[in-house]
Amino acid sequence: GWTFYLLLTNQPAFLNAFGFGVTENGTLGSLPHIMKVLIALLSGFIADYMRLNLLWSTTNVRKIMTCTGYIIEGTCLLIMCHVKNPYIGITLLTIGVGSSGLMVSGWHLNHQDLAPRYASVLAGFTAVIGTSAGIISPIVAGLLTKEQDLIGWRHVFTIASLVLYISSLFYMIFASGDLQSWATKTPYE
């Protein structure tokens, strides 16, 4: 939630710091999100291939898709901290945000794996947590980029990268794709 809302709300300001006008900002700013949609569509086929042809477990597929998306996005944001060329910056942003489309076949589907009967409740909990982070991240970005320069964005992207790397590590250690015992029917239902 942190990085998603950060980029959703502050991407135009970042592109403005590179000197892009309104038209360029709108056009170039749409590229990362178009890439994310395309990769999200492709990620379903990739995940199915891993499960059906490579015979990987649901847990491993979810972990690989989620962590790959997080790590690529975090790395692109970290590299962006040192980029001065605006077109390299937008390319990294496109690759980074685009790679987050892999998570559609990762943690986004994980609720259904864990507890099909309660997937909507689990999705609600994760949405609250993600949106809470999404409320805080634009405020932090605003405080760090008061000067509207690329130096402030270095701090913003470093924090976002750390959030993505820590989230990836947490997910890699604790995630499961197995149906949970508490989510199954009991004989008395």
Render each residue's pLDDT in the chain as its tens digit; 189 residues.
888 888 888 888 888 888 888 888 889 999 999 999 999 999 999 999 999 999 999 999 999 999 999 999 999 999 998 988 989 999 999 999 999 999 988 888 899 999 999 999 999 998 898 889 888 998 999 899 888 777 888 999 999 999 999 999 999 999 999 999 888 876 565
Supply the pLDDT for residue 185. 74
CA distance 127 to 22: 31
Q: What DSSP line would sit under 95-115, residue for residue? A: HHHHHGGGGGGTHHHHHHHH-
For 8, residues 6+ apart whose C-beta sits below 8 A from its C-beta are 134
Tokens of 143: 């405080």
Supply the pLDDT for residue 58. 93
* CB distance 103 to 69 below 8 Å: yes
Supply the pLDDT for residue 11. 87
Q: Where are the alpha helices (DSSP H) in the chain?
A: 2-17, 22-52, 58-80, 86-99, 107-114, 119-144, 150-174
Supply the pLDDT for residue 187. 59
Place of tokens 């790397």: 165
Smallest CA-to-CA distance from 6 within 134, 147, 153, 159 is with: 134
52-84 b/e with 16+ CB inside 10 Å = b?
Answer: eeeebebeebbbbbbbbbbbbbbbbbbbbbebe
Supply the pLDDT for residue 120. 92
Q: Domain 2-178 - what CATH class?
A: mainly alpha
* CB distance 39 to 126 below 8 Å: no
Hey, what amino acid is at 81?
C
**pTM score, whole prediction:** 0.89
CA distance 52 to 60: 13
Smallest CA-to-CA distance from 114 within 129, 126, 102 is with: 126
